[in-house]
Amino acid sequence: MTDSVQNRMAKGAIWMVLFKLVERSLGLISTLILARLLAPADFGVVAMALSFVFMAELLTAFGFDVALIQNQKASQAHYNSAWTGNALLGFAIMALMLILAAPIADFYRKPEVFWVVIALAFGPLISGFENIGVVAFRKELHFRREFIFQLTRKLIAFAVVVPLAFTLRNYWALVAGTLVSKLAGTVSSYLMHPYRPRLSLAKLSELIGFSRWLLFNNVVGFFKERSSDFIIGRALGAGPLGIYNLSYELANLPSTELSAPINRALLPGFARMTTVEEVTIAYATAVGVLALLALPAAAGLFAVTPYLIPVVLGSKWLDAVPLMEVLAFNGAMLLFHSSICTILIGRGFPSRITITNGLYVIILLALLIILIPRNGLPGAAYAAVLTSALCTPVYLYQMKSCLGIGVGVFAAAIYRPLISAALMAGIVRWSLPAFDPAIPLVLLTAWLFAGVGIGVVSYVLIAAALWLLGGRPAGAERVILDKAESFLVYRIRRYFRTPLN
């Protein structure tokens, strides 16, 4: 792989991380407002509806897009066939959800879920007509344009959902935000890319030949992420489901907000590589950077959760504290699962991901069924983290079997960040006093910021010390330092070349 492609991949990862940071900033503000205005049951009602809508909608997510990215010789006929396939799937999913709305409401014993499913059923149809031309942003490594495209839909959705939350003060604000985001994405896709797709089935069978495993994997991946919705919603009701889902989302922030954008940028790069050595070096660097950034975020989240929940979400969400403390570990493991899945897809092994994710789902469902009746809502968190721990060796085996990348490469990339993050979490927990609901909110907020500050300083010092003691080896630390140095030099030169007014 040439330096040009490496640099474009690195820049792409930066753009995607920047997008996720902006998106998550908007999302956190939105979540803060919604959590204050809405009850946990409102989140639970929407989660009940989305549990089925997402299951069907995932059939259209990434399958044909990834097939186009992986196929370096894709023609206009491939793009037209992919767009047609997405549109047909969107229409079929909408029809299916309209038919199943009543049975879904009966399953959860929640009549209000019926109309929520009816409304959300139109989301897959809207997304199905998105301009397939925007796939070229990622395939051709034009990540700045991808950043603008993705950000546009999020800004529009944010501008709609927040005013509606103040006006409606119920779950319809969440429903509206979901639909507006999809509509904004479809409209902006045609404004931002000149390609105009046409109806065609000429290459659909060829695309399905690659995508069938991705389609299966999306379905399996859905159950990996959302199996708890069905069991918690049915067994415990909307309120506990809302608490669990918000806890799961916040606990997985390090995984979803750092690994997802980096993996999105790396996928086309992995598809272009030609040698095992290139793949191994790129994977070791990528997973090292992910570990260096995301592991301290997960550990820090675990350490400050007793203060984070009452300060950020309010006292009505205190039941989320023990869940997030457990799920933070799950988020850290899912971070590495996602990096392995990305490299396997990029190298053309989607079937291995489907098989491994299928095993994950089987174990997760078994543990959910066993632990929820015995332990209630915390049982779902225990089931998630136990399943991830049991399946991590299987993901590593698949990478070794398919690509020849052994556990040693993985361990060498993560051991310093892992030790640093664990020590940092211990220092923060030791520094903060035991949580007491009687502590005033102002003091809770002060302790929260103190914990974050202690965590950042201690992690940086420990990570730097371990790197120096190790002889400053090449790896994630060196990559980040080099990128920071290049950025600072660029900014300084630009500043001094700018004439004074």
**Mind spelling out the 3-state secondary structure of 88-103?**
HHHHHHHHHHHHHHHH
Evaluate whether 225 touches 178 at the Cβ level (below 8 Å): no
Quote the pLDDT of residue 75: 76
Helix (H, G, I), strand (E, B) or coil at 235: helix
Only one residue has tokens 């398919």, namely: 402
Evaluate whether 329 touches 385 at the Cβ level (below 8 Å): yes
- CA geometry: angle at 149 spanning 146 and 152, to 5°? 145
pLDDT along the chain (501 residues), means of 10: 48 51 62 70 77 62 62 75 85 87 86 88 86 72 66 76 77 81 84 83 71 66 76 84 84 68 61 71 81 87 90 82 89 84 77 85 92 91 93 91 86 90 94 85 90 94 91 77 66 58 45
- CA geometry: angle at 479 spanning 12 and 1, to 5°? 55
- Identity of residue 259: S
Name the burial class of residue 105, with classes exposed (0-12), middle (13-18) and buried (19+) by CB atoms within 10 angstroms of its CB: buried
Overall pTM surpassing 0.75 (yes/no): no
Rounded to whole angstroms, the Cα distance separating 175 from 388 reads: 31
Name the burial class of residue 238, with classes exposed (0-12), middle (13-18) and buried (19+) by CB atoms within 10 angstroms of its CB: buried
Token duo for residue 108: 């959860």
Q: Any idea how long the chain is? A: 501
Compute the CA torsion angle 290, 296, 302, 306 (nearest 10 deg): -130
Rounded to whole angstroms, the Cα distance separating 243 from 163 reads: 23
Rounded to whole angstroms, the Cα distance separating 147 from 261 reads: 10
Query: Which residues, at least 6 apart from 127, have a Cβ–Cβ distance to it below 8 Å?
Result: 57, 60, 86, 90, 182, 185, 186
